[in-house]
Structures are given as structure tokens and as C-alpha cells.
């Protein structure tokens, strides 16, 4: 059914929650702020590092946020896979999709260098033609510009492209680009929140993605 599969990273390919929380709390402690629990930190995730740190510190002071992001990156780059792991069934599913001739790419709001480090260290980077993070804040999901560029670069159509993710931004970027979306209930926001966003498809486990690629299903 699809020539091009685009995947979110955090909460879709990899469970990165604990490492993100550890890094955020490291920065909070540097500034003598109380640490946050895992659920609270993850509620800040999805719109980029500067947005996450602005939420953590309840500030919109640009220079201070830039300092916080630098502190986060300095810690996180050395600890981004201490506890993170690839979701069960992910590697096998990606292998099957590749064997069927599909193109696979990552489209994330996480900086590209950190995304590449995580994918490389966890052994799944080889599955992806491209790993695209936001080169500019205005191009973050749900802005469809990077998604549409990937469709053009691969040489396929919007009708044969699927965006797979666990968050509001993933479903909205697909809608804004005019492509199908697949929500992952095993990710960070859960089944009920995804259903409210009305994705084209919904999967409970990674192997469920293969059913979408089977015309008989």
C-alpha cells in the first residue's frame, strides 16, 4: 500500500523517556530546582528542546532557554541511550518493510545529531534512507515542509506515503501534508488521546504495521 514510511523517533521507534527525564532533571538540579517525575517531563516532550526546557523552567527568556538547552545537550549526548530501548517487534517489522521494497525515513522534532546517535547506538540506523530533524524551528512538525520534501526526494506520491507516530504532532503533520497517518498506542500519549486525533490507522504493536502493507488484510 505504501512506498514511503516516515517514523517519529521518541515514543515510536525508541522508548527514550527515562533518558530524557534524567537529562532534564540534571539541568533542573544544576539550577537548584526541584526534579520532575517521569510523566511530567514527558508531557513537555514533542515540540523541540527549547520548548521543553522553557516548560521545565516556566520561562520564555530566550538567552536563558538557550543556556538550558546547551546544558541539556551536554549531558544528554553522553547519556542518551543509558536506559532507552527499541520497541519490541520494531527491528523485525522494519526488516520486513525493507524486504517488500519500501523506503523508510525518520521525521522527528529531535535535533538530527542526537537522533543519529540514538539510532546508531541502538542498532537501527541502517534501516533508514534519511533521518530528518528540524533545521529551523519553523519547520518542526506539524509543519509539513520536511515531510513533503521527503516525498519529493523519494519520488513517490502523497497517496503512497504513511506517517507513523505516537503524538499529536505526528497525526497533524500527516493531515497538513495530505498523507495517511498511523498512531502508535504503545507510545507516550496513549490510545485515548490518539483516537481523539482521528488518525487514519491505529496500531497496538509494531507488527501491526505489517497488516497495513498486506492488501489482503
Contacts of 183 (CB under 8 A, 6+ apart): 165, 166, 170, 171, 194, 195, 197, 199, 201, 202, 203
Question: What is the secondary structure of 92-142 as a DSSP string?
Answer: HHHHHHHHTT-EEEEE-SS-HHHHHHHHHHTT-GGG-SEEE--SSGGGSTT
Examine the residue annotation and report whether 3 is marked as an active-site residue of this protein: no
Query: CB–CB of 41/25 below 8 Å?
Result: yes
Cell matching residue 95: 526488516
Distances 19 to 7, 25, 26, 73, 109 between C-alpha atoms, Å: 20, 10, 10, 12, 16
d(CA 127, CA 8): 14
* Vertex 165: Cα angle to 164 and 166 (nearest 5): 150
Residues recognised as catalytic: 8
Amino acid at each position: 500500500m505504501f512506498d514511503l514510511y516516515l517514523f517519529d523517533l521518541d515514543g515510536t521507534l525508541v522508548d527514550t523517556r527515562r533518558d530524557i527525564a534524567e537529562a532534564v532533571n540534571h539541568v533542573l538540579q544544576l539550577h537548584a530546582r526541584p526534579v520532575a517525575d517521569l510523566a511530567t517531563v514527558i508531557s513537555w516532550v514533542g515540540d523541540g528542546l527549547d520548548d521543553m526546557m522553557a516548560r521545565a523552567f516556566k520561562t520564555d527568556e530566550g538567552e536563558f532557554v538557550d543556556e538550558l538547552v546547551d546544558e541539556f545537550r551536554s549531558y544528554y549526548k553522553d547519556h542518551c541511550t543509558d536506559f532507552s530501548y527499541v520497541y519490541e517487534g520494531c527491528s523485525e517489522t522494519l526488516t520486513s518493510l525493507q524486504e517488500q521494497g519500501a523506503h523508510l525515513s525518520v521525521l522527528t522534532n529531535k535535533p538530527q545529531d542526537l537522533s543519529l546517535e540514538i539510532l546508531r547506538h541502538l542498532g537501527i540506523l541502517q534501516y533508514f534512507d534519511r533521518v530528518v530533524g528540524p533545521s529551523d524551528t519553523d519547520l518542526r512538525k506539524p509543519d509539513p515542509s520536511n515531510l513533503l520534501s521527503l516525498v519529493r526526494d523519494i519520488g513517490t506520491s502523497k497517496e503512497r506515503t504513511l506517517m507513523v507516530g505516537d503524538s499529536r504532532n505526528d497525526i497533524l503533520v500527516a493531515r497538513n501534508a495530505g498523507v495517511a497517518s498511523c498512531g502508535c498506542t504503545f507510545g507516550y500519549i496513549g490510545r485515548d488521546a490518539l483516537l481523539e486525533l482521528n488518525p487514519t490507522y491505529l496500531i497496538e504493536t509494531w507488527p501491526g504495521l505489517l497488516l497495513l502493507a498486506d492488501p489482503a488484510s
